[in-house]
């Protein structure tokens, strides 16, 4: 493509309201333009990259046995009423009426539509399993659209849905989708992890978010230094280190601690490390009081607590509730001589504490030399705390580190959450009516594009990986008015095309500086400059990522470029 013909409006200034790199650069390099908050046009360069992301997604989904189809973005409200989400989805769902006053929604996701299609068309176990996907525009009226394409109100998603008669079949498809996602994000050149996520009410370990490790990520993940273990901070299990101190058990003592209440104040006052203080927190779990104990240097993870107690709701007790159940104030409660009516549940590390400190259930007093199982009993011990950096990885390989992540994909076993209310059933081998099981698998296609831009740039502009670059080679006639340079450039343009490279040819009558600045900004992997030494048959080649540059005789250019391309692949 000749650049003189290309619609590629670049900007010199950083747009005022764009606060992350990918957003700034995609605007400046003429890949996208904003229409309204969270709503964008893809200009030709942006569309080319989007197309490449879509094709990678398509190839891997097809390879994994999913079939592409297309559903309407405009969806009848009745379907959403059947699943119940018309009422529960909230203002993110964009709703509208047609001329007959019938309610519609713009598709935020397509579980309802696909379930209605499959329910109507599939009646027998013989037609299962079925895995269907589409790549399509989604609409979500996000509360805070931001970071450009990363959180849009109109965006491109690949969404797949699978239908099964047997659990093993769902398990198998789930694994196949996870593998396909890994292949997709690897091909996009992203540093990502498949992260175990909270499944909320549905439960189970069958919910993974694919996260790109990034400074601007909105989610915090814990992953292993030496393996592919990764989990949402809320979900990451803690491995117990059973290292008990060899100290002799000393006699329980009540000490005056006056106004010291927090772990920090108490450990300062008594000159012990926070890891020697038992943090005691009274929770109300579905109306029942539970005294929760963790080490002073640890934090209670309420999601784990809720799961372990199988409670619908857990909440810290108010001052009044604490008084009512333990006859004490917040900062002075503890498990020693506490009310028998209050269940005590301790983090698994607590029984290993020796000569510890805890509140005495009396304002202004704490116990020292507290020894679990001697001075108090726990009803239950469990993994109740958040992981911290340096904890052992649960798979025994490496230690935990934290990172922020951008969610680019999500795989989830839905079970019968939609098929049950929407009555998607089939006849099994025995002619018995059964409800189908489902899985759903999403990828933010436009978000993936932005994540790639976010992770691949420098102060001059974007740096595209080979797999997604809008063009392969940037050919620049340094001075297009110079006949010799123009002639050689034209010749090379044809040569690149013949060699199978998609070449962007800057034939514009612009100053060299302008051309180079634009070239750095749009970030094609290889640049070829035809300048002063054209008369000697020598051109300059520059690699965008490394900044290396070479003077190459025209006769060797073809093989030189192929070789550099192959080097960049690895």
Contact between 447 and ligand ATP per CB under 6 A: yes
- Cα 330 from Cα 319, distance rounded (Å): 6
- Taking the least distance from each CB to ligand ATP, the nearer of 450 and 488 is 450
| Contacts to ligand ATP from residues 147-166, by CB under 6 A | 151-152, 155, 157
Options 46, 372, 405, 409; binder of ligand ATP; rule CB under 6 A: 409
DSSP reduced 3-state for 517: helix
Nearest to 166 by CA among 174, 158, 178: 174
- Taking the least distance from each CB to ligand ATP, the nearer of 79 and 450 is 450
Tell me if the bond preceding 129 is cis, omega within 30° of 0: yes
Options 23, 52, 140, 187; binder of ligand ATP; rule CB under 6 A: 140
- Cα 140 from Cα 121, distance rounded (Å): 29
Contact between 506 and ligand ATP per CB under 6 A: no
Residue span binding ligand ATP (CB under 6 A) among the ranges 3-11, 230-238, 403-411, 423-431 = 403-411
Q: Phi and psi for 526 in degrees, rounded to 5?
A: -130, 135
Options 383, 391, 407, 455; binder of ligand ATP; rule CB under 6 A: 407
Smallest separation, CB 446 to ligand ATP (Å): 6
- Taking the least distance from each CB to ligand ATP, the nearer of 355 and 448 is 448
Going by DSSP bridges, is the β-strand pair 473-477/503-506 parallel, antiparallel, or unpaired?
A: parallel
196 CB neighbour count, 10 Å cutoff? 22
Q: Using an 8 Å Cβ cutoff, are 355 and 374 in contact?
A: no
- Cα 38 from Cα 142, distance rounded (Å): 8
Options 359, 442, 465, 525; binder of ligand ATP; rule CB under 6 A: 442
- Cα 393 from Cα 399, distance rounded (Å): 5
- Taking the least distance from each CB to ligand ATP, the nearer of 155 and 501 is 155
Options 334, 439, 444, 470; binder of ligand ATP; rule CB under 6 A: 444
Smallest separation, CB 240 to ligand ATP (Å): 31
Options 263, 408, 449, 522; binder of ligand ATP; rule CB under 6 A: 408
Smallest separation, CB 150 to ligand ATP (Å): 6
Q: Using an 8 Å Cβ cutoff, are 499 and 562 in contact?
A: yes
Please state, in angstroms and as integers, the Cα–Cα distance from residue 160 to each residue in 7, 58, 163, 341, 425, following that order.
Answer: 34, 11, 10, 50, 19
- Taking the least distance from each CB to ligand ATP, the nearer of 278 and 449 is 449
CB neighbours of 212 closer than 8 A, spacing ≥ 6?
185, 190, 191, 192, 405, 406, 408, 451, 454, 455
Smallest separation, CB 401 to ligand ATP (Å): 22
CB neighbours of 246 closer than 8 A, spacing ≥ 6?
none
Contact between 206 and ligand ATP per CB under 6 A: no
Measured from each CB, the residue nearest to ligand ATP is 444
| Contacts to ligand ATP from residues 106-125, by CB under 6 A | 109
Q: Using an 8 Å Cβ cutoff, are 534 and 441 in contact?
A: no
- Cα 344 from Cα 323, distance rounded (Å): 17
Taking residues 36 to 75 in sequence order and writing x for each that binds ligand ATP by CB under 6 A, - otherwise, the string is ----------------------------------------
- Taking the least distance from each CB to ligand ATP, the nearer of 443 and 478 is 443
Question: Binding residues for ligand ATP, how many (CB under 6 A)?
Answer: 15
Residues that bind ligand ATP (CB under 6 A): 109, 140, 142, 151-152, 155, 157, 407-410, 442, 444, 446-447
């Amino acid at each position: 493509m000749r650049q003189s013909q290309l619609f590629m409006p670049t900007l010199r200034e950083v747009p005022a309201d764009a606060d992350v790199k990918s957003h700034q650069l995609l605007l400046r390099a003429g890949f996208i333009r904003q229409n309204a908050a969270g709503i964008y046009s893809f200009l030709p360069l942006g569309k080319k990259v989007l197309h490449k992301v879509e094709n990678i997604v398509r190839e891997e989904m097809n390879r994994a046995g999913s079939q592409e189809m297309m559903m309407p973005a405009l969806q009848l409200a009745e379907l959403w009423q059947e699943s119940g989400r018309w009422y529960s989805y909230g203002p993110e769902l964009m709703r509208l009426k047609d001329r007959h006053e019938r309610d519609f929604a713009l598709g935020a996701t397509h579980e309802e539509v696909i379930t209605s299609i499959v329910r109507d068309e599939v009646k027998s176990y013989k037609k299962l399993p079925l895995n269907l996907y589409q790549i399509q525009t989604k609409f979500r009226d996000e509360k805070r659209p931001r970071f450009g394409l990363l959180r849009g109100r109109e965006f491109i998603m690949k969404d797949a849905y699978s239908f099964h008669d047997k659990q093993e079949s769902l398990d198998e498809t789930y694994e196949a989708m996870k593998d396909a996602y890994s292949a997709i994000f690897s091909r996009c050149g992203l540093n990502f992890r498949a992260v175990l996520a909270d499944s909320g009410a549905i439960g189970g370990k069958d919910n993974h978010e694919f996260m790109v490790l990034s400074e601007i990520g909105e989610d915090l993940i814990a992953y292993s230094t030496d393996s592919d273990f990764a989990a949402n901070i809320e979900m990451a299990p803690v491995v117990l280190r059973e290292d008990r101190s060899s100290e002799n058990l000393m006699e329980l003592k009540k000490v005056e601690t006056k106004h010291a209440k927090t772990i920090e104040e108490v450990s300062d006052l008594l000159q012990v490390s926070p890891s020697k203080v038992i943090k005691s927190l009274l929770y109300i779990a579905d109306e029942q009081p539970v005294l929760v104990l963790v080490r002073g240097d640890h934090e209670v993870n309420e999601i784990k607590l809720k799961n372990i107690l199988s409670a619908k709701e857990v909440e810290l007790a108010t001052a009044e509730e604490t008084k009512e159940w333990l006859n004490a104030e917040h900062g002075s409660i503890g498990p020693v001589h506490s009310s028998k009516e209050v269940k005590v549940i301790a983090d698994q590390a607590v029984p290993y504490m020796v000569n510890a400190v805890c509140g005495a259930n009396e304002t202004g007093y704490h116990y020292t030399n507290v020894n679990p199982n001697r001075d108090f009993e726990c009803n239950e011990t469990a993994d109740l705390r958040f992981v911290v950096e340096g904890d052992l990885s649960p798979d025994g390989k490496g230690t935990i580190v934290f990172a922020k992540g951008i969610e680019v994909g999500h795989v989830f076993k839905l079970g019968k959450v939609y098929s049950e209310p929407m009555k998607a059933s089939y006849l099994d081998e025995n002619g018995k009516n059964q409800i189908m099981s489902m899985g759903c698998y999403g990828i933010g296609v436009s978000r993936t594009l932005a994540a790639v831009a976010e992770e691949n740039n420098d102060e001059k502009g974007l740096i595209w990986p080979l797999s997604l670059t809008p063009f392969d080679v940037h050919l620049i006639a340094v001075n297009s008015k110079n006949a010799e340079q123009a002639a050689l450039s034209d010749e090379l343009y044809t040569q690149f095309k013949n060699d199978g490279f998609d070449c962007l040819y800057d034939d514009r009558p612009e100053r060299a500086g302008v051309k180079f600045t634009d070239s750095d900004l749009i970030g094609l992997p290889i640049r070829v400059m035809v300048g002063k030494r054209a008369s000697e048959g020598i051109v300059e080649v520059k690699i965008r990522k490394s900044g290396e540059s070479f003077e190459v005789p025209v006769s060797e250019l073809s093989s030189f470029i192929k070789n550099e391309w192959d080097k960049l692949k690895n």
